[in-house]
Structure 1
Amino acid sequence: MKIGSNCFSDKTFQSIVDSLKNLGTCEITNLGNQYIYDSHIDEELLPYFEQILDLFTPVSSVKHIHGVEKYSASLYDVLEKWNMFSVSSSDIETILKAICHAKLDENPQIFTENVIIREFLDEKYMNQSGILKKYSWKEFCDDIKYHNRFHSSEVNVEQLTELLKFLNLEIPSNELLLFRARICDAAHYDIGYKDDKDIGAPPENVASAGRINSEGIPCLYLADSDITTFHEVRARVYDHVTLGEFENVVPLNIIDLCHLDSITPFQYEDVELTWFAINIEAIKQIAKEISKPMRRFDKDIDYVPTQYIADYIKNLGYDGIKYKSTINEGGINYAIFDPKKFKCVAKQHINIKNIHFKAENFI
C-alpha cells in the first residue's frame, strides 16, 4: 500500500516518509504528488510501529484481572488520540495492517479486539510513573477540591517535574512584547487609564481567583496580540478600552503548554513510550483545563485543580505559563507569576467598533 506523508501528523513519521523522496498518489487520501511510503518495499517505519504495538495486550488474555474494562479500548481509537495520524481511526487500521502485516499474522487479536496497556493494571508502576499516579483527572479534581486542598496525594510531583523540563521556554530580556487590556469605567470612558498600574496586575487586596492564580495572589495575564486580549476581557461594541504593551525586563523561563494537546510519542527524545502511553490523557487534560476561559457561572473552587498545578510550576522557579487562547482561535496567552518582570512600554485608548462571532451547534 502507498501511504502519503500527509496521513501522519507526527513529525518523525513525516520526515521519514519525506526522506524517501518517492512521489506518488496516497491510497488512503487519494491525493497525488505526495511523498509516499510503500508498505510492500519500505521498512523505515516498521520499528516504530512494532514498538507501539508491543505496548498493547488483547483484553481476552487479561479479562480475569480487576479493572480491565476501565482501561480497555479499540487500538485505533487509542492511537487516534496520540496525534500520530491525520486520518480517521478506520484509516489508521488500514495503515497499521499494511505496515505491520507480520504482526497481524502473529497476533491478530491486537487488531480485532479491544486492547489494554498492562501497566495501567500495575498499581506500583502507576504510582511510580504516572503524573496523577493511578488516578484520573476527575478523581484528582475531586480530591483537591473536597479532601486535600493543599497537599494532594494523587499527584506524582517527581513525574510532573520531569514533564516540565521538556516544556521550558527560555526568553531573553526585552524580546517578548505582549498586550493587556482593561475596559474603561465611566470615569475613564473618554480619557482611558493613564497610570501604568491601572492596566497592570491587580493589587493583592483585589486580586480575584483565576485558573492560574488563587485569590489574593496577583498574576499578570498577557496576550500575544491586541485582538486576543480584547477577546479575553470580553470587550463589547462601544466599549472604550485602554490597551497596554508590555515588555519583559529580565530573562524568563516559561512553561509552554501550547502544544501539549498535540503531543506525540516520539516528539521528545528522552520520553519513554510506556510513560507517554500512561500519561498522555493527564498531560492533555492539564493543557485543556488551564486554557479554558473563565465562565460567568464558574465558582472559585472550580479553579483549584489548575491553581494547584500552576502553583507547583511557580514553586519550581519558573516565571509563568504560556497557553492557547480558546476564545480567540490561534491566539496565545501568558500568565506571569511576578508582574515586576514586565514593564508597560506603551498605552493606547481604543474604541471597540465591532465584534465578530462564530457559532456552531453544540453536540
Structure 2
Amino acid sequence: MNNICESCFEDKELKGFILSEGEIKLCDFCSCSNNKVIAIEELLDFFDELLGNFESHSEGSGVSSLISLIQGDWNLFRNNGTGSKFLNIIINRLALPFFNADVPVQYSQEILSNVNYWFKLKEQLKWERRYLIDINYLTDELGWDGFFESKFAVGKNDILYRARLHQNTNDEKFSPEKMFCPPRELSTAGRANPMGIPYLYLSDKQETILYEIRSAYLDEVSIGKFSVKKSLTEDVLISDFTEKPTIYHPTEVNKKIKSKLLKEYISRDLSQPLRRYDSELDYIPTQFICEFIKTFTGVKGLKFTSSLHNVGNNYVIFNQDIFECIEVNKINISKVEISYN
C-alpha cells in the first residue's frame, strides 16, 4: 500500500495538505478513486515526529492503545480501522519501538512532566509562595507562554449574556449599567479574578448563564445581552479553550500536545462550579494562570466550556469597558431539573 487519500483522515490541516499536494488516484486504504491521494512516504517525517511523543507502557491507569490515544485526543483518522492499518505500515517502515497500533502507550515522560507541573504549581500558589513564582521556569523551561497562541476575535454582532438574581419579588429589571461588574471595592474573588480586580463573566447561551448563577425555581432574574462596543477599532481577541485542535503541525507536534493537555487541565479547573463552602485559596491557581495568559498573549479574555451546562460556553473578559449591555429582560424560572450521584 502506497497511496492514501484525504478522506481517510479527519485532521483538517492534514486533509488540506493532501488536497494541495496530491493527485487523483486510487486510494489503497479505502479504494476510493475520486479523491486526491498522496504517497505515504510523504508523511513519514510527520508520523516519525508524532509517534516519538509516545512511550510503550504496561497496561494500567492512564494507558491506552496507540490508536485509541491518537483517535481519542486528536481524531486524526476517519476511523480506528483505517488508522490501525495505516499506523501498522508506518511503524514497520520507521522501525519504531512499537509492535503495532494496538500496543499500550502513554505520552512521553517529558510531556507528562511538563503539563503535570500544573498540579505542583497549584500547591505552590496556595501553600508555599504566591507573589514570587519562578515565571522564567514556566516560560524558558516549560514553554507555557507559547501554549495559548490559539485566539479568535469576538464579532461585533455576537451576543453574550450575563444574569443577575433579584432579591425581592416584583422588583423592576436591572438597568444596563447595573448588569456590569460591581465596583472594584466590592468585587469578590472568583475562579478567574482576584478580589478587587473585577472581570466580566458572560455566557454564549441564556440557559447557560442561568445554570451558572444557580437560579432556582420561581427566582426572578434579569438577563443582559452584551456585545462588543461598536466604536471599538481593534479586534477583541480571546484565548480559546474550547477549540478542537489539529495535530498536523510539522516541527510543532510536541508543543501542540503539551498545549492541548495543559489547557484541558486549566479549563477543567476554570469551569469547576463555585460551592458555598469553597475556600478562596482554591481560586488562586486559576486567577494566576488567567493573569499569566493575559500578560503573555495580550488577549482580552478566555473562552471555556461550562461544566454546569455543557452545550454552552463561558467567557471571562478582563476589561468590561470593551463591552456594552444593549438590552435587559426580566424572566421567571419556571422549572429546575436536578441530577445526583
How does the TM-score come out when normalised to structure 2?
0.76
Distance, in Å, in 1 between the alignment partners of 2:237 and 2:321 is 15
Change (3 A) 1:49 1:181: same
Match status 1:146 vs 2:127: yes
Structure 1: stretches of 5+ with no match in the other structure: 61-68
User: What displacement does 1:101 show?
Assistant: 3.6
Does residue 200 in structure 1 map to residue 180 in structure 2?
A: yes
Say which SS state the counterpart of residue 212 (structure 1) adopts: coil
Q: Give how far 1:194 is off.
A: 3.5
What residue in structure 1 maps to residue 87 of structure 2? 96
Equivalent residue letter for 1:10: D
SS in structure 2 of the partner of residue 156 of structure 1: helix
Q: Are residues 1:177 and 2:177 paired? A: no
The equivalent residue for 1:79 is: 70
The answer to whether residue 165 in structure 2 is matched with residue 167 in structure 1 is no
Larger mean CA deviation between 311-320 and 74-83 belongs to 74-83
User: Aligned-pair distance for 1:171?
Assistant: 4.1
- CA deviations 1:250-304 (Å, max 9, x no partner) are 34433332335x42322x57x6223334554223212332233323443211111
Question: Following TM superposition, by how much is the alpha carbon of 1:110 offset from its aligned partner in structure 2, in angstroms?
Answer: 5.4
| Distance in 2 between residues matched to 1:115 and 1:22, nearest whole Å | 34
Deviation per residue, 1:50-103 (Å, 9 max, x gap): 33224456679xxxxxxxx99987544543454134688787544411454423
Structure 1 residue ranges (4+ consecutive) displaced by more than 6 angstroms after TM superposition: 1-7, 17-27, 32-39, 69-73, 86-91, 116-119
Change (3 A) 1:255 1:102: same
> What code does the residue aligned with 1:347 have?
V
Give the Cα separation in 2 of the matches to 1:175 and 1:5.
35
Deviation, structure 1 residue 147: 0.9
1:346 aligns with 327
1:45 Cα shift? 4.3
Q: Give yes or no for the alignment of 1:320 onto 2:311.
A: no
After superposing the two structures, state which structure 1 stretch, 91-100 or 279-288, moved more.
91-100
| 1:13-92 aligned within 5 A | 13-15=14-16, 43=41, 45-56=43-54, 75-76=66-67, 78-80=69-71, 82-85=73-76, 92=83
Q: Which amino acid aligns with 2:184?
A: E
- Compared with structure 1, are the counterparts of its residues 284 and 3 closer, same or farther at alpha carbon in structure 2 (3 Å cutoff)? farther
What is the rounded CA distance, in whole Å, between the counterparts of 1:350 and 1:117 in structure 2?
48
TM-score (norm 1): 0.72
2:207 to 211, 218, 227: 227
Q: Contact 2:239–2:299 (CA<8 Å) still a contact in 1?
A: no
Mapped contact 2:242–2:303 kept (Cα < 8 A) = no
Identical aligned pairs, as a percentage? 24
Secondary structure of residue in 2 paired with 1:139: helix
> Residues 243 and 350 of structure 1 are in contact (CA less than 8 Å); yes or no, is this contact kept in structure 2?
yes
Point out which structure has higher relative CO (alpha carbons under 8 A, 6+ apart): 2
- State whether residues 163 and 210 of structure 2, in contact with CA within 8 Å, keep that contact through their aligned partners in structure 1: yes
Structure 2 distance, partners of 1:38, 1:101, is 21
Query: Which consecutive unaligned segments of at least 5 residues does structure 2 have?
Result: none
Deviations 1:127-165 (A, max 9, x none): xxx5x6xx532212111111121232375135333233x
In structure 2, give the amino acid aligned to 1:147. E
Distance 1:99 1:236 in 2: 56
Q: Could you say what secondary structure the match of 1:345 adopts? A: strand
**Equivalent residues of 1:46, 1:100 under 8 A apart:** no
SS of the counterpart of 2:147? helix
Distance 1:318 1:92 in 2: 37
Gap change, CA 1:285 and 1:6, over 3 Å in 2: farther
1:25–1:36 contact (8 Å) kept in structure 2: no
State the secondary structure of the residue aligned to 1:228. helix
Structure 1 CA distance for aligned equivalents of residues 98 and 174 of structure 2: 69
Paired residue for 1:63? none
Q: Name the SS of the counterpart of 2:236 in structure 1.
A: strand
